[in-house]
């Protein structure tokens, strides 16, 4: 029975690869693949659920593969099935069936028909990786893939300004949640000195108590609550959810109405054994959920667009689920999740028809509303709701602007000579750190901090640079070199194969990306980052290859760099607070800088007038 868990991942994954073969105009074979997949998927999920119930509701676990293993580190793909997985799996299968059936007709003759179903099938794979994950490593694979799928569907209408802008806004929050999960894995490894499964979380909590390490446990819990709040659009990260509705209605239904937005709920349910005895964590989750429920409800009641109303209403319900989780009502949460998922999917799918009816009804039956006096409190709350409590402005001013300001203050780095000096310095320090381990003991902890600070400075410069995309891309590689050098100088010995894992994936992605950018530059010698170029019109294949290179350079589960990054984090000691903060910031802004180059060069309205100019919004 445990080996059959592979089917949940294999079915959508094989369908995804099969759908890549066909051209966009081949709607019939693509639709046939999706139809067979959704039927097979729903039969497997319901049959397995019934079989699991007949076996006595016993949790099922299966180790699928071990990707890398040393004496104290194991990167294994572990699958796990229990009542939480059962509910999320059955609900996911039913909603995938409904949305895929709807989309087959809704996306008919759309220019991105194939691209839409490619992404939906990849999302189904990622979703199953998450809900069937038996350890943090497996969950993180699905977590990363799901984030990329979400980004691609928000920017589905990639020739328009607002979808591209909002996709970047959403992925910036996603990256914070990604790095938070990585930090939770990092500290958990230092706490237990092994890569534990979710079934061992209770033992890990007891280990923290026995060793007298409450600080490590508190850090892990905070790094679990943060990504849960971000992915489920909880306060103060709520505003990315309505922005994500720029994609097609059917993708909004399955992502931001039903499945994707509830992943934060799954994370809290899955890790509950670790924090169930921590009163402060429960109080924090209740406060986050309560604030979201109140603020999101007030915003939803005054929004002029139906998608925004549904988005904030869904976030408010998830806030109530946060409270239910903290209070221990887990079965109530699962029922609440299923009800909210089906309701929001239905509302989003019928919203175009409802709007059409309401516009028609208003045209023939419009009556002037009665003027009523409004109190100052109601007027103030109304204005706050219309402005969405200024959460977007607050997050931009206090979260992102300081880093952009630092990057702009480093404009002296734009010199070509400085690029070459930094690149050769990084290579030299890298070689010195590997071939002269005695230097590590000489400099102590000063040199790693210095090298990591240089890496962050270079990456922030690339993030804020507004001229040559090629130069910004080269600075990302330079940042990676200094990250590796900082790790080499932080510990006496690093396994050479782990450096190869990390460096090979990053270098291959860099070379592919450099080729793509150089090819675009030969067209009209202009790939500045000061505007959108929209080259996906003319160079769609090149844009796809650059997307792959951007994912590779940030450590997406596409190359060996994904395993290498996870291993490198373990070489930072649990008491090196400054170093781990710098390293985490590096990996946040590497993704943002790489995706910024992708969006500016390939997405957005095309700069040439012989192409149609799209509306700003979808």
For 103-128, how does the pLDDT look when each residue is reduced to its tens digit (9 = 90+)? 888 888 778 888 888 999 999 999 99
Structural domains in the chain (count) = 2
Structure tokens at 79: 């699958």
- Residue 439: pLDDT over 60: no
For 297-346, how does the pLDDT look when each residue is reduced to its tens digit (9 = 90+)? 999 988 888 888 889 999 999 999 999 999 989 999 999 999 999 999 98
Is 616 domain-assigned?
no
Angle, helices 83-106 vs 113-131, to 10°: value is: 180
Is 396 domain-assigned?
no
Structure tokens at 419: 């690029």
For 187-209, how does the pLDDT look when each residue is reduced to its tens digit (9 = 90+)? 988 888 888 888 888 888 888 88
**pLDDT bracket for residue 545 (50, 70, 90):** very high
Residue 301 sits in the same domain as residue 230: yes
Mean pLDDT over residues 246-272, rounded? 87
Instruction: Give the C-alpha separation, 235 to 265, whole Å.
Output: 14
Is 366 domain-assigned?
no
pLDDT at 611: 63
Residue 350 sits in the same domain as residue 477: no
- Residue 167: pLDDT over 70: yes
Farthest-apart Cα atoms in the chain, separation? 84
Residue 490 sits in the same domain as residue 551: yes
Query: Is residue 554 within 8 Å of residue 548, measured between CB atoms?
Result: no
Residue 311 sits in the same domain as residue 167: yes
Last residue of a domain, one of 320, 337, 357: 357
Tell which wins on pLDDT, 372 or 576.
Answer: 576
Give percent of the chain with pLDDT exceeding 90: 31
For 168-186, how does the pLDDT look when each residue is reduced to its tens digit (9 = 90+)? 999 999 999 999 999 999 9
pLDDT at 198: 87
pLDDT at 529: 87
Residue 421 sits in the same domain as residue 497: yes
pLDDT at 284: 95
For 214-242, how does the pLDDT look when each residue is reduced to its tens digit (9 = 90+)? 888 899 999 999 999 999 999 899 988 88
Is 372 domain-assigned?
no
Residue 415 sits in the same domain as residue 351: no
- Residue 376: pLDDT over 90: no
Is 383 domain-assigned?
no
Whole-number mean pLDDT of the chain? 86
Instruction: Give the C-alpha separation, 7 to 482, whole Å.
Output: 42
Parent domain of 83: 2-357
Residue 328 sits in the same domain as residue 419: no
Instruction: Give the C-alpha separation, 185 to 177, whole Å.
Output: 12
Is 279 domain-assigned?
yes
Residue 417 sits in the same domain as residue 330: no
Is 112 domain-assigned?
yes
**CA-to-CA separations, 139 to 64, 134, 201, 264, 554, in angstroms, rounded:** 13, 7, 14, 12, 18
Residue 525 sits in the same domain as residue 433: yes
**pLDDT bracket for residue 248 (50, 70, 90):** confident
Structure tokens at 166: 């909002």
pLDDT at 593: 92
- Residue 501: pLDDT over 90: no
Is 400 domain-assigned?
no
Residue 449 sits in the same domain as residue 518: yes
Last residue of a domain, one of 339, 357, 375: 357
Nearest to 547 by CA among 116, 20, 164, 152: 152
pLDDT at 514: 93
pLDDT at 195: 81
Residue 425 sits in the same domain as residue 561: yes
- Residue 496: pLDDT over 90: no
**CA-to-CA separations, 174 to 44, 177, 460, in angstroms, rounded:** 31, 5, 18
- Per DSSP, 234 falls in state -
pLDDT at 430: 65
pTM of the model: 0.91
Residue 334 sits in the same domain as residue 414: no
pLDDT at 225: 94
């Amino acid at each position: 029975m445990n080996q059959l868990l592979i089917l949940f991942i294999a079915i959508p994954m094989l369908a995804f690869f099969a759908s890549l073969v066909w051209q966009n105009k081949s709607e019939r074979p693509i639709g046939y693949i999706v139809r067979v997949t959704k039927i097979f998927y729903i039969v497997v999920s319901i049959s397995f659920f019934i079989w699991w119930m007949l076996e006595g509701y016993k949790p099922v676990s299966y180790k699928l593969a071990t990707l890398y293993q040393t004496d104290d580190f194991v990167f294994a793909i572990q699958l796990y099935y229990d009542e939480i997985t059962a509910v999320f799996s059955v609900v996911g299968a039913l909603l995938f069936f409904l949305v895929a059936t709807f989309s087959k007709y809704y996306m008919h003759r759309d220019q991105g028909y194939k691209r839409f179903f490619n992404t939906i099938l990849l999302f189904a794979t990622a979703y199953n990786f998450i809900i069937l994950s038996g350890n943090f490593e497996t969950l993180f694979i699905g977590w990363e893939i799901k984030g990329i799928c979400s980004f691609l569907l928000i920017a589905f209408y990639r020739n328009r300004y607002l979808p591209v802008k909002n996709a970047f806004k959403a992925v910036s929050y996603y990256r914070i949640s990604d790095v938070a999960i990585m930090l939770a894995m990092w500290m958990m490894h230092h706490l237990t000195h092994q890569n534990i499964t979710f079934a061992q979380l209770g033992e890990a909590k007891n280990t923290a108590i026995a060793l007298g390490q409450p600080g490590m446990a508190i850090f892990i819990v905070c790094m679990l609550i943060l990504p849960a709040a971000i992915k489920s659009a909880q306060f103060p990260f709520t505003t990315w959810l309505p922005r994500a509705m720029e994609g097609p209605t059917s993708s909004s239904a399955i992502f931001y109405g039903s499945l994707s937005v509830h992943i934060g709920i799954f994370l809290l349910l899955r890790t509950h054994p670790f924090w169930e005895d921590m009163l402060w964590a429960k109080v924090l989750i209740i406060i986050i959920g309560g604030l979201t429920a109140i603020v999101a409800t007030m915003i939803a009641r005054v929004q002029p667009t139906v998608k925004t109303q549904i988005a904030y209403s869904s976030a408010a319900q998830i806030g109530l689920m946060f409270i239910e989780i903290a209070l221990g009502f887990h079965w109530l949460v699962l029922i609440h999740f299923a009800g909210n998922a089906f309701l929001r999917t239905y509302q989003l799918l019928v919203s175009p028809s409802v709007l059409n009816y309401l516009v028609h009804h208003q045209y023939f039956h419009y009556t002037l509303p009665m003027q009523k006096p409004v109190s100052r409190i109601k007027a103030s709350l109304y204005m706050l709701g219309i402005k969405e409590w200024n959460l977007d402005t607050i997050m931009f001013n206090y979260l992102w602007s300081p880093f952009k300001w630092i990057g702009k203050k480093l404009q002296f780095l734009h010199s070509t000579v400085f690029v070459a000096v930094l690149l050769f310095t990084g290579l030299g320090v890298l070689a010195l750190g590997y071939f002269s381990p005695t230097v590590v003991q000489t400099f102590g902890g000063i040199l790693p901090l210095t090298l990591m600070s240089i890496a962050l400075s270079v990456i922030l410069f690339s993030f804020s640079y507004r001229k040559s995309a090629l130069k910004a891309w080269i600075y990302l590689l330079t940042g990676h070199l200094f990250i590796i050098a900082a790790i080499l100088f932080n510990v006496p010995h690093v396994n050479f194969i782990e450096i190869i894992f990390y460096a090979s994936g990053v270098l291959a992605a860099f070379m592919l990306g450099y080729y793509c950018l150089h090819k675009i530059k030969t067209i009209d010698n202009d790939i500045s980052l000061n505007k959108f170029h929209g080259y996906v019109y003319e160079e769609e294949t090149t844009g796809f290859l650059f997307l792959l290179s951007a994912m590779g350079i940030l450590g997406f589960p596409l190359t060996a760099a994904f395993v290498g990054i996870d291993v490198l984090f373990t070489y930072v000691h649990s008491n090196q607070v400054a170093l781990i903060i710098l390293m985490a910031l590096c990996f946040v802004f590497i993704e943002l800088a790489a995706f910024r180059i992708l969006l500016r060069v390939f997405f957005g309205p095309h700069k040439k007038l012989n192409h149609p100019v799209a509306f700003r919004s979808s």
